[in-house]
Amino acid sequence: MNDRTRVGVIGCGLIAQVMHLPYLTELSDRFDLAAVCDLRETVAAGCAQRFGVHRAVASWEELLDEPLDAVLIATSGDHAPIAIEAARAGMHVLVEKPMALSSEGAEAMARAAEFAGVCLMVGTMKRYDPAYERLTELLPAVDDLRLIRVTTLESPFAPYVAHYPLIGLDGPAGDPVLGERERDTLEGALGELDEETLWCHRWILLDNLVHEFNMLGGLLGEPDEIRFAHLSRRSVSIDMRFGRTDCHLSWVDLPGIARYRQELCFYGPAQRLTLELPSPFLRSMPTRLLVEGGEVGDAGSWQREEITSYEEAFKRELVEFSECIRTGRTPRTAADDGLRDMRLAEAVARTHFERTTTSHRTGPLLTGGAARAEAGVT
């Protein structure tokens, strides 16, 4: 057990209590959960007691003084300052999405980790879903991919977490607000956009749609063009192009129905693939993969449903983090990956505000570093 990673968790909110802390405890052969941190001292103390942690603190600076190998950052604000200081202290970093609040902050995180020689991994956990991994195997065989459709029906999360014994969380308290420091960071990244665009960028693009961007990026790389973007608190519509393939992305807030639904659909003349992802708050709820086929000019067709596994993506994400620390290999959702998502979100916000079509090839993501290979669509 001496080779376990001593890890501290910064931010003991909803996703930490529902997913990260339980799975870090389950993975005790890999991790020694040594410290927890939350601004609310009673929450940090309660989580420490529940999960058998000996050290609970109220500031991340105090936690970074602990003799740790790694930190998991799950705070609600900008992750860049904490991640940079953790890397400078020689700690490996798993940072929850969004990676940062600006691409500049994300790049500073990546450079700090590279200089320190530590692992920096972004917690876009849907890339570790077994059904998503199966989709990556099947998609290259779809001949003449003509359309990609991504649809997310957002729903209240309270019904999905009410059965968990949560500490110090009383549920949502209306729309979140932009703090002064957050606004300054966003305006530094985007320029002087209107208040509604800044809000939608922060709380919809970065907090929600970063998952959709990341899943598409893992399959296809960067889009060549953002043709259209409309952002509002009620719904989002984005049209992009990957090579010759159109991609339509829709997100809608439906607060009256507790039936979250997320679909990624890929259409070719004789093949169709549909990934249906459940609420991310349900442990081990499997993702469905629908595979359809037929022959051009033939009335016959077929469909099969695949349940790939009941393994939890959040847990598999932690295993990936552990393996990257042990072996020194680059995580699947590394800094380049998160930086690409940040730049795409910023380009979408500008496209909406300026009402223009945007070419979006950024070239190598980190100057001086190797650009991530892309699965291009012709």
pLDDT for res 170:
66
Q: What's the whole-number mean pLDDT along residues 208-213?
A: 97
- Residue 357: pLDDT band (50, 70, 90) is confident
Compute CA distances 52 → 2, 6, 84, 158, 257, whole Å: 18, 14, 28, 26, 37
The answer, yes or no, to whether residue 17 has pLDDT greater than 50, is yes
The answer, yes or no, to whether residue 162 has pLDDT greater than 80, is yes
pLDDT for res 371:
29
Tens digit of each residue's pLDDT (9 = 90 or more) over 44-88: 999 999 999 999 999 999 999 999 999 999 999 899 999 999 999
Q: What's the whole-number mean pLDDT along residues 302-313?
A: 96
Give the pTM: 0.92
CA angle 36, 37, 40 (to 5 degrees): 130
Amino acid 298 reads D
The answer, yes or no, to whether residue 375 has pLDDT greater than 50, is no
Is residue 125 packed enough to be buried (19+ CB in 10 Å), middle (13-18) or exposed (0-12)?
buried
pLDDT for res 172:
54
Question: Under 8 Å CB-to-CB from 59, ≥6 apart: which residues?
Answer: 37, 39
Domains and CATH numbers, the chain: 5-126+316-333 (3.40.50.720), 127-311+340-359 (3.30.360.10)
pLDDT for res 362:
61
Averaged confidence pLDDT in the chain: 92
